[in-house]
Amino acid sequence: MNHARSSIEPYAAARFRRAQRLPFVLALLAALTACSALERPSTPDRATVPGAGGAAGSAAAPAPTPDASSPDAAPPAIVTPRAPNATAGATQALLAQSRAARAAGSYAQASATIERALRIAPSDPRLWVELGEIQLASGDAAQAATLARKALTLADDNAVIADAKKLLRAAGGG
């Protein structure tokens, strides 16, 4: 009888260990499911489009547009105003730190700080202009011109465009 009991014990111990892991696995699955549910779709569905009439499957028609009479007219573009966010404050602080380091003549520190800001907001053209100005001040005119061109591709503000063009001229690239 003792022999039968000893042959069952390893199976019971393994089953017990699996039972101990079950709550952890379930909690992990619940957390992953919650994370995937929080992601927003890349394109808005009809429920989020103004004038769509509520749910995606509703029969209500979108609000008429001036050229809605043509059969191939595209729906109006949805323009959402930019809300201030936390990254704007972080990039502003890093931009100020970078400018202070550049004014002190510490171009390596200024460059590292602005590159950190660019990792937060890579589409901010002001940061590309700032990095270009640092590169120009440290003697790399070719890199400064490249960064000014990058800023011009991203800029939609006349002041930033003017700054990028000024940098490009100073770097000898335009």
Tokens for 111? 């460059």
Q: Is residue 51 part of a domain?
A: no
Q: Is residue 81 part of a domain?
A: no
Distance CA 14, CA 88 (A): 53
Predicted confidence at residue 20, as pLDDT, reads: 74
Q: What is the tally of structural domains in the chain?
A: 2
Asked if residue 127 has pLDDT above 70, the reply is: yes
Nearest Cα to 158, choosing from 135, 119, 126?
126
Same domain assignment for residues 25 and 93: no
pLDDT tens, 17-54? 766 776 766 666 666 665 554 444 444 444 444 444 44
Lowest-pLDDT choice from 49-58, 98-107, 149-158 = 49-58
Say if residue 53 is exposed, middle or buried (CB neighbours under 10 Å; 0-12, 13-18, 19+): middle
Lowest-pLDDT choice from 42-46, 98-102, 168-172 = 42-46
Q: Which region, left, alpha or beta, applies to residue 124 given φ > 0 means left and ψ of -120 to 50 means alpha? A: beta
Q: Is residue 70 part of a domain?
A: no
CB atoms within 10 A of CB 16: 9
The parent domain of residue 21 ranges over 1-32
Predicted confidence at residue 6, as pLDDT, reads: 60
Q: Is residue 48 part of a domain?
A: no
pLDDT tens, 78-93? 544 444 455 588 899 9
What CA–CA distances, in Å, run from 167 to 98, 132, 151?
17, 7, 10
CATH of the domain at 122: 1.25.40.10
Distance CA 148, CA 167 (A): 6
Average pLDDT over residues 121-135: 94
Predicted confidence at residue 82, as pLDDT, reads: 45
Distance CA 156, CA 64 (A): 30
**pTM for the full model?**
0.51
What CA–CA distances, in Å, run from 26 to 15, 18, 30, 31, 35?
17, 12, 6, 9, 14
